[in-house]
Amino acid sequence: MKKKVIYYLRRYGPAEIAGTLGALICGVLVNQITGNRVATAFAGTWGENLGFYGTMIGREIYASHQQHRAKDLPYGLGSFLKNLRNVMLEFGLSETMDSFVLRPFLMYIAAVWITPLAVAIFIGKLAADALFYLLAIFSHEMGQRGL
Q: Which amino acid appears at position 120 of this protein?
A: A
Averaged confidence pLDDT in the chain: 91
- Confidence class of residue 98 from pLDDT cuts 50, 70 and 90? confident
pLDDT tens digits for range 101-115: 888 999 899 999 998
Maximum distance among all alpha carbons in the chain?
56
Residue 95: pLDDT over 90: no
Contacts of 26 (CB under 8 A, 6+ apart): 43, 44, 46, 47, 48, 50
Nearest to 40 by CA among 48, 52, 32, 49: 32
Q: What are the boundaries of each domain within the chain? A: 2-144
Average pLDDT on 25-41 reads 94
What pLDDT is stored for residue 139 in this prediction? 82
**How confident is the model at residue 147, as a pLDDT?**
60
User: Is-contact 45 71, C-beta < 8 A?
Assistant: no
Q: How confident is the model at residue 92 (pLDDT cuts 50, 70, 90)?
A: confident
Distance from CA of residue 130 to its chain's centroid? 12
